[in-house]
Amino acid sequence: MFYTQNRNRLDDLLTEMNVAFNDNFFLNRKKDNLIKYNTETDDSGVTLTMEVPGYNNNLIDVIVEGKTLVVEGKSNSGNLDGFKEKFSLGDKFDGENVEALIVDGLLTVSVPYVESVKPRKIKVKVG
């Protein structure tokens, strides 16, 4: 399960509500800069997509620090203010194999499950 860090009480309530309905990320709100994102899960892990118009691969950092995933948009001399979002990685995620891709202002971060969590198909034998 992912958790953001340093949020207020309203965000904590939203977190609890979202965790009850979804075992991925939860609504991430900032007062001045709302970064819109979506998550999807499948058998391989979680895919995070973030709308980051105006940012390119030189202005975005995706970092895994221990059990924390950090997505940071660096400000530049233009009109980009910058942002920094942190997500805590649970034990079921493989922080060593995170991948990130940015295309046309859409950042996609793939966070795979550890092998022990991934579903595996069991071959049925004929007796």
**CATH number for 29:** 2.60.40.790
Exposure class string for 40-56: b at 16+ Cβ within 10 A, else e: eeeeebbbbbbebeebe
Does residue 119 lie in a domain region?
A: no
Give the predicted TM-score (pTM) of the model.
0.68
| β partners of residue 110 | 47, 99
Does residue 124 lie in a domain region?
A: no
> How many domains in the chain?
1
Does residue 51 lie in a domain region?
A: yes
pLDDT at 119: 85
- 71, with CB counted inside 10 A (0-12, 13-18, 19+), is buried
**Full residue range of the structural domain in which residue 85 is found:** 3-112
Does residue 35 lie in a domain region?
A: yes
Does residue 36 lie in a domain region?
A: yes
pLDDT at 72: 93
Does residue 121 lie in a domain region?
A: no
pLDDT at 127: 86
pLDDT at 64: 94
Rounded mean pLDDT for each run of 10 residues along the chain, 127 residues in total:
50 54 42 72 92 91 92 80 86 94 95 89 92
Does residue 122 lie in a domain region?
A: no
Does residue 125 lie in a domain region?
A: no
